[in-house]
């Protein structure tokens, strides 16, 4: 009874492995199989001999061994295209996460960089440096960090939060520097394409027509745009106020580049805070408080008096042509004299920016009477 049970179990295992395709017999095994089953075809009339029983066990054992070997080889060769795609996406996302210094600080503080298996995985990920893989990265700076964390000294240093913050600040500075340079290149390309129009004075005619149109919209017959001196003086005063406000708020002991960049980024946008006082002349036209005329008109409107200015009420406080021109002049000064402004910023004893920038460089011998006027003006 026990022998017959073993025979049936062996037969079941053997044919099940054949059916599932987990075992493919060789030609020699197929010959043994034919010989064995040919001798046992009339099994109901004769009993298994010891030799037949032994042969059946050998066939089943060889099938099991072959199936086991194919199972061991399966993880390397049986990854489906969908699984490969998923693994690629996961590794791509993880590699790009390494571009964040605070994430590296997180991994270091939790001891991942001390685990051998994790370090081996980071070495494996170096294949992303190959061009065919690197082109899939949106944040290629992650490759620099992937290479850096192979160094034990860097792994130890990034565990300090202050170091991670320093790296983040440097990344911000580099990005802002890149974007400003890129904007300059784009502006140069635009001016190059507009050169034929400038040559035929078409551009200046168009600008003049726009100024007339804007003056009509704001109910004024004449638009008196700020000149170079007025624009530079307002720029200098505004930048000085922003820089000193930043330094006072941050309580910085030394002058860092990040403060300078933040100041330069906001100075020209602050020009839109100015209001036009058309009843005044010179620099006093530009003030951040609302003009007496507009205050009176707003009060009348609030009392229900119908006030008609030839434009919707929502446009009353929109920047005028003069204020828009003031912002454009600010951007031009910043574009041309950024290096001069940096030298002024890092001076141990800062001279007034109106003298250092406007009088000595921007105007350079031209009419600088507005600088004296600014000393009496209350912007």
Instruction: Say if residues 338 and 207 touch (Cβ distance below 8 Å).
Output: no
Say yes or no: 30 and 112 in one domain.
Answer: no
Say yes or no: 278 and 338 in one domain.
Answer: yes
**What pLDDT is recorded for position 45?**
41
In which domain, by residue range, is 59 found? Answer: 2-70
Residue 376 has pLDDT above 60, yes or no: no
Q: What are the CA-CA distances from residue 203 to residues 196, 212, 274, 335 (Å)?
A: 9, 14, 27, 21
Within a domain: 65: yes
Within a domain: 82: no
Segment of 15-24, 103-112, 185-194, 282-291 carrying the highest mean pLDDT: 103-112
* pTM summary value: 0.43
Residue 16 has pLDDT above 70, yes or no: no
Last residue of a domain, one of 154, 179, 200: 200
Phi and psi at 345, nearest 5°, equal -65, -40
Average per-residue pLDDT for the chain: 74
Instruction: Say if residues 17 and 23 touch (Cβ distance below 8 Å).
Output: yes
Say yes or no: 110 and 192 in one domain.
Answer: yes
Rounded to an integer, what distance in angstroms lies between the CA atom of residue 40 and that of residue 31?
Answer: 14
**What pLDDT is recorded for position 202?**
57
- What does the pLDDT average to over 165-194? 72
Rounded to an integer, what distance in angstroms lies between the CA atom of residue 41 and that of residue 224?
Answer: 114
- Of 30-44, 254-268, 288-302, which gets the smallest average pLDDT? 30-44
Instruction: Give me the CATH number covering residue 147.
Output: 1.10.10.1340
Within a domain: 176: yes
Within a domain: 215: no
Say yes or no: 49 and 97 in one domain.
Answer: no
**What pLDDT is recorded for position 294?**
77
Within a domain: 7: yes
- What does the pLDDT average to over 121-128? 91
Say yes or no: 132 and 62 in one domain.
Answer: no
**What pLDDT is recorded for position 288?**
85
Residue 225 pLDDT grade (very low, low, confident, very high; cuts 50, 70, 90): confident
Model confidence pLDDT, tens digit, residues 129-145: 998 888 888 888 899 99
Rounded to an integer, what distance in angstroms lies between the CA atom of residue 138 and that of residue 217?
Answer: 46
Say yes or no: 279 and 358 in one domain.
Answer: yes
Total domain count, the chain: 3
Model confidence pLDDT, tens digit, residues 89-120: 889 999 998 989 999 999 999 899 999 999 99
């Amino acid at each position: 009874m026990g022998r017959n049970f073993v025979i049936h179990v062996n037969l079941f295992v053997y044919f099940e492995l054949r059916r599932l395709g987990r075992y493919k017999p060789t030609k020699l095994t197929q010959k043994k199989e034919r010989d064995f089953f040919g001798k046992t075809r009339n099994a109901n009339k004769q009993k298994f001999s010891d030799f037949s029983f032994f042969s059946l066990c050998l066939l089943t054992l060889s099938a099991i061994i072959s199936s086991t070997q194919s199972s061991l080889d399966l993880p390397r060769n049986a990854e489906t295209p969908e699984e490969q795609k998923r693994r690629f996406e996961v590794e791509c996302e993880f590699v790009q996460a390494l571009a964040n210094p605070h994430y590296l600080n997180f991994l270091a503080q939790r001891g991942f960089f001390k685990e051998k298996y994790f370090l081996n995985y980071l070495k494996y990920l170096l294949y992303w440096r190959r061009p065919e893989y690197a082109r899939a990265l949106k944040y290629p700076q992650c490759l620099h960090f992937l290479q850096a964390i192979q160094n034990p000294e860097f792994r130890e240093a990034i565990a300090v939060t202050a170091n991670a913050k320093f790296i983040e600040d440097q990344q911000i500075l580099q990005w802002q520097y890149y974007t400003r340079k890129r904007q300059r290149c784009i502006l140069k390309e635009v001016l190059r394409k507009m050169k034929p129009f400038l040559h035929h004075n078409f551009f200046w005619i168009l600008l003049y027509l726009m100024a007339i149109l804007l003056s009509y919209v704001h109910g004024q017959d004449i638009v008196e745009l700020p000149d170079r001196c007025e624009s530079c003086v307002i720029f200098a005063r505004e930048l000085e106020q922003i820089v000193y406000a930043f330094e006072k708020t941050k309580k910085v002991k030394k002058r860092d580049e990040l403060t300078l960049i933040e100041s330069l980024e906001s100075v020209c946008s602050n020009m839109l805070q100015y209001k036009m006082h058309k009843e005044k002349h010179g620099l006093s036209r530009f003030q951040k408080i609302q003009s007496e005329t507009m205050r009176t008109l707003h009060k009348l409107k609030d009392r229900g008096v119908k006030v008609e200015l030839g434009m919707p009420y929502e446009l009353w406080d929109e920047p005028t042509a003069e204020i828009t021109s003031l912002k454009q002049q600010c951007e031009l000064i910043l574009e041309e004299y950024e290096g001069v402004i940096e030298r002024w910023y890092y001076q141990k004893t800062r001279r007034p920016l109106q003298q250092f920038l406007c009088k000595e460089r921007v105007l350079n011998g031209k009419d600088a009477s507005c600088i004296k006027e600014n000393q009496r003006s209350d912007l």
